[in-house]
Structure 1
Amino acid sequence: MKIVGLTGGMGVGKSTVAKLFENFGFPVYNSDTRAKELMVENNDLKMKIISLLGKEAYEGETLNRKFVAKKIFSNKDLLKKQNFLVHTALRKDFELWKSKQNTVLGIKEAAILFESGAYQDCDYTIAVTSPDSVRMQRIISRDHLSESEIKERLQHQWPQKKIVELSTFLINNDSDYENLKIQVIHIINILKTKI
């Protein structure tokens, strides 16, 4: 199975693009969602996170996302260590997911595909971009974060330009849904010639 990495910073519309691929019959592995699930389901990972960040990282069985975010986004070393722990578990989980698929092409959606090294699992990559002002509004309404919290998190992601330079394909999410759909169909048609 060929794997297409789908990436882009917060608020660019990766999930919308992933849903389009799914609607066209391609299975999607959502790394961000699975990472959140694994941090709750995977006891080994939980213990490592508690060891790294302290018992406050969990409230009972629930990840204390606010505490974890505050801790890791204010300390680059902790962020790097936590990302390593999560991405190690995620890579194993992705391989298991991949082994269960019965298709020629799958999508791996990941916000930090290049930063985490997950691009190495991909045959092709797609960067989704969007104007900064649009991204900011999407994140505020979706995640209910302040502008300063968003800017702090965005500082830990690569600039859109760098992601675009490393990607096989580009989707500009700067218009409407129909335009987005046209771009996805165009990429699907190109990918079909390569598999």
Structure 2
Amino acid sequence: MSRPFILGLTGSIGMGKSTVAAMFEAAGIPVFDADAEVRRLQGPGGTLVPPIEAAFPGSTGPDGVLREKLGALVFGDRDALARLEGIVHPAVGAARQAFLIEHAGEPLVVFDIPLLYEKGGADALDAVAVVSASAEAQRARVLARPGMTPEKFAHILSLQVPDAEKRARADYVIDTGTSMERTEAAVVALVAGLTGTRHAR
């Protein structure tokens, strides 16, 4: 039975992954955004709100999960984080399976997974594309974000697999340190290369 070729899309903070994901969508490729799915599941009426409230009392409200409150409860606490991931990950996995079923006839789909190499899961993909730019461009982009500090940025980087290692492990590298036009051309070329033949398993 044939199924879509599954391309994992990942990249460190500030590398332009969301922009590249949008370019895949613009090229007509279905994209499963793990972060967006988590936000939906944790939003108003989301199915994860009751179990998260049960595990972390006071971490939710009428608008769903209160991200800052929940973040404060799990920050730096490995056991609490593992408990939260035990609630969230199965739900995201189920949503991803439903997405695959919905797009079973497509030649290519993209799984947008921010912490792919950090959390594992690359084995379930057919190939991985890493979005990358220079360390200088990354730093400038991240420090321009509201509320970001050099200390916060350093801490986030310390939790992520280094960009050089991601590039080395990737099947494809999409450079966002160039013009938007050149990045988009690279995405379009990759789509053409991957959809030129149907992949069957």
Quick check: TM above 0.5? yes
Alignment of 1:132 with 2:132, yes or no, is no
Of 78, 81, 90, the residue aligned with 1:79 is 81
Shift of 1:115: 2.6
Deviates most, 105-114 or 127-136: 127-136
Residues 117-155 of structure 1: per-residue CA shift (max 9 Å, x gap):
332332111011122332233234345322322322332
Equivalent in the alignment of 1:25: 28
CA contact (8 A) 1:87 1:116 kept: no
Query: TM-score by structure 2 length?
Result: 0.84
Q: Which has the larger radius of gyration?
A: 2
* Unmatched runs of 5 consecutive residues or more in structure 1: none
**CA distance in 1: counterparts of 2:82 and 2:164, whole angstroms:** 22
Query: Is the 1:35–1:86 contact (alpha carbons within 8 Å) kept by the matching residues of 2?
Result: yes
Instruction: Give the superposed CA RMSD.
Output: 2.2
Q: May I ask how many residue pairs the two structures share in their alignment?
A: 193
Q: Cα 1:89–1:123, aligned 2, differ >3 Å: closer, same or farther?
A: same
TM-score (norm 1): 0.86
Higher helix share: 1
Distance in 2 of aligned mates of 1:13 and 1:33: 16
- Give, in whole Å, the separation in 1 of the partners of 2:146 and 2:125: 29
User: C-alpha displacement at 1:104, in angstroms?
Assistant: 1.3
In 2: Cα distance, 1:108 partner to 1:143 partner? 27
Partner of 1:154: 157
| Residues 150-189 of structure 1 mapped to structure 2, 5 A cutoff | 150-189=153-192
SS at match of 2:160: coil
Q: Does the CA-based 8 Å contact 2:46-2:64 persist in structure 1?
A: no
Distance 2:125 2:189 in 1: 19
Q: Where do residues 32-111 of structure 1 align in structure 2 (5 Å cutoff)?
A: 32-40=35-43, 41-43=45-47, 45-52=48-55, 54-101=56-103, 102-111=105-114
